[in-house]
């Protein structure tokens, strides 16, 4: 068995796995931020300016330091940075948002010695016998684990997802500590209520950190989509899968978000497949992969198959919840607020104490969300300002201090998935006839319209 890359240490740093070590890492980060504040304060004084505390904390130097430390720690520490960069990015100065956006790209990979240690703990010391070849160069490194390619002893090409050590045990404390740090450092404005976001991050991370659960979700999706040759999903190698290591058949293809210059027909078809899958997930399977990360989708240009990856954030939805979403969507397509309101209240978007102004704002967002479903032709996401309008409306509502209301995690996660698909459709400039799904899954809404 060959190793593709020696452990030369470039860009690689061991993941701190102990709770004390991780806490000390955040402590050193706080100390570094304070040091940067002193330097920045001295610079302001030298220029004859009276420094403001917020200006001293909210600097590119501090943002760089935070992003670098979270990328090193990985796990929940990195995940909360990713979520904050996505959800609060528009409230941050552009240069700060750009630095934190680094956390949505690759994490710092583990060194080979730590990879070997994790694999020995999960597969035993003789694990190399299972492979003809194993690459110690990760092809992807994210918040929870990193992915390696290999060839098994029976000749099958596989992708091996290896969880960072200590991630599962440190989720809650990491998120609480990083949230406090981001708030203290001024990297998150005081006006942003990100408590619900943190609770969502904890729940999502605990589920994603269980690779046996993800393996079962993979199997379920392969069965559910067995009738469609348009989708390709990896198969699990059970003998090489544990709670911390997930081994699957390797699937290549190109990143979906890289296809911005592909022919219009190809971009339209890819987004149509994604939208069709969402409607099947909601109304047929009641099983939804809720992570909107674009990296979860790749495209095989030879077979024209959409490749689905990463099922860690898969959730079951109850019959009652889906029925309420159906009612909301049918009401929104028909602009019938009286039809939407009871279902929205049942899903805890608002309650009996919510002001009429805020209720109307929520109902208006639903109606806007379903704009593409009201359109009978191909809806042009590339020229539409829908994604920006929804973002602005949601942000304006979230900044209302007397409307800090948090629906259940399932609701929040479904929203994130739908918003992610709209953003991807806009990035690809796709034109999609969503009325076909309206007529197929929402039969009471087979109406003409123009948006």
The values of phi and psi at residue 51, to 5°, are -70, 140
Q: Read out DSSP for 14-71?
A: PPP-SHHHHHHHHHHHHHHHHHHHHHHHHHHHHTT----HHHHHSSHHHHHHHHHHHH
Taking residue 188's Cβ as centre, other Cβ atoms within 10 Å add up to 20
Q: Which residues lie across from 149 on neighbouring strands?
A: 159
Contacts (Cβ under 8 Å, ≥6 apart) of 246: 160, 161, 211, 214, 215, 236
Query: What's the pLDDT at 176?
Result: 74
Q: Which of 87, 174, 268, 291 is catalytic?
A: 291
Region of 61 (left: φ > 0; alpha: ψ -120 to 50; beta: rest) is alpha
- The 8-class DSSP code of residue 6 comes to -
Query: What's the pLDDT at 80?
Result: 52
Highest-confidence range of 68-72, 152-156, 434-438, by mean pLDDT? 152-156
Dump pLDDT digits (tens) for 383-403. Answer: 998 877 877 776 666 555 555
Are 425 and 299 in contact, with CB atoms under 8 Å apart?
no
Confidence band, pLDDT 50/70/90 cuts, at residue 218: very high
Q: List the Cα angle 225/229/232 in 5-degree steps.
A: 70
Confidence band, pLDDT 50/70/90 cuts, at residue 271: very high
Greatest Cα-to-Cα distance within the chain, rounded to the nearest angstrom: 71
Confidence band, pLDDT 50/70/90 cuts, at residue 406: low
Highest-confidence range of 12-26, 49-63, 116-130, by mean pLDDT? 116-130
pLDDT at residue 8 is higher than 90: no
Mean pLDDT is lowest, of 146-160, 339-353, 405-419, for: 405-419
Task: Return the percentage of the chain with pLDDT > 70, whole number.
Answer: 65
Dump pLDDT digits (tens) for 277-288. Answer: 999 999 999 999
Dump pLDDT digits (tens) for 275-314. Answer: 999 999 999 999 999 887 888 899 999 999 999 998 988 9
pLDDT at residue 194 is higher than 80: no
Average pLDDT, the chain: 76
Dump pLDDT digits (tens) for 328-364. Answer: 999 999 999 999 999 999 988 887 888 888 888 889 9
Residue 291 bears catalytic tag: yes
Q: How far apart are the first and last CA of the chain?
A: 59
Confidence band, pLDDT 50/70/90 cuts, at residue 413: confident
Query: What's the pLDDT at 282?
Result: 95
pLDDT higher at 90 or 66 = 66
Taking residue 45's Cβ as centre, other Cβ atoms within 10 Å add up to 11
Q: What is the dihedral of CA 233, 238, 244, 246, to 10 degrees?
A: -30
Taking residue 203's Cβ as centre, other Cβ atoms within 10 Å add up to 17
Mean pLDDT is lowest, of 89-98, 170-179, 234-243, 249-258, for: 89-98
pLDDT higher at 391 or 146 = 146
3-state secondary structure at position 340:
helix
Query: What's the pLDDT at 397?
Result: 64
| CA dist 113 → 7, 8, 15, 70, 118 (Å) | 8, 11, 11, 21, 9
Confidence band, pLDDT 50/70/90 cuts, at residue 36: very low
Residues 195-221 have a mean pLDDT of: 85
pLDDT at residue 448 is higher than 50: no
Residues 353-377 have a mean pLDDT of: 88
Predicted TM-score (pTM) of the model is: 0.75
């Amino acid at each position: 068995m060959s190793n593709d890359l020696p452990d030369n240490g470039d860009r690689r740093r061991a993941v701190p796995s102990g709770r004390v070590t991780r806490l000390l890492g955040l402590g050193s980060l706080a100390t570094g931020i304070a040091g940067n504040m002193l330097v920045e304060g001295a610079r302001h004084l030298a220029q004859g300016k009276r420094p403001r505390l917020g200006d001293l904390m909210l600097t590119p130097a501090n943002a760089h330091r935070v992003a670098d430390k979270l990328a090193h720690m990985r796990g929940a520490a990195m995940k909360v940075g990713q979520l904050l960069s996505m959800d609060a990015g528009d409230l941050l100065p552009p240069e700060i948002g750009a630095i934190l956006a680094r956390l949505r790209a690759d994490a710092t990979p583990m060194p080979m010695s730590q990879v070997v240690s994790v694999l020995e703990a999960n597969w035993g010391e003789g694990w190399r016998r299972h492979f003809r070849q194993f690459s110690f160069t990760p092809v992807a490194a994210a918040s929870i684990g990193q992915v390696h390619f290999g060839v098994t002893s029976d000749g099958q090409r596989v992708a091996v997802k290896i969880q960072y050590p200590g991630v599962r045990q440190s989720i809650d404390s990491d998120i609480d500590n990083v949230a406090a740090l981001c708030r203290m450092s001024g990297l998150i404005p005081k006006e942003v209520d990100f408590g619900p976001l943190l609770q969502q991050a904890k729940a999502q991370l605990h589920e994603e950190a269980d690779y046996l659960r993800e393996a079962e979700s993979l199997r379920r999706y392969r069965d559910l989509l067995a009738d469609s040759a348009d989708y390709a999903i990896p198969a699990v190698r059970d003998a090489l899968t544990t709670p911390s290591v997930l081994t699957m058949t390797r699937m290549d293809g190109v990143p979906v978000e890289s296809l911005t210059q592909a022919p219009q027909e190809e971009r339209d078809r890819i987004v149509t497949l994604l939208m069709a899958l969402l409607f099947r997930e909601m109304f047929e399977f009641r099983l939804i992969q809720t992570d909107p990360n674009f990296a979860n989708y790749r495209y095989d240009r030879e077979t024209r198959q959409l490749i689905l990856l990463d099922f860690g954030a898969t959730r079951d939805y109850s019959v009652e919840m889906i029925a309420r979403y159906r009612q909301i969507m049918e009401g929104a397509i028909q602009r019938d607020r009286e039809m939407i309101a009871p279902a929205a209240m049942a899903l805890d978007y608002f309650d009996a104490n919510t002001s009429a102004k805020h209720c109307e704002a929520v109902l208006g967002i639903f109606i806007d969300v379903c704009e593409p479903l009201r359109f009978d032709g191909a809806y042009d996401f590339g020229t539409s300002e829908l994604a920006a309008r929804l973002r602005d409306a949601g942000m304006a509502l979230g900044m209302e201090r007397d409307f800090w209301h948090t629906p259940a995690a399932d609701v929040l996660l479904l929203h994130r998935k739908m918003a992610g698909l709209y953003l991807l459709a806009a990035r690809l400039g796709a034109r999609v006839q969503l009325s076909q799904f309206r007529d197929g899954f929402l039969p009471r809404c087979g109406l003409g319209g123009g948006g």
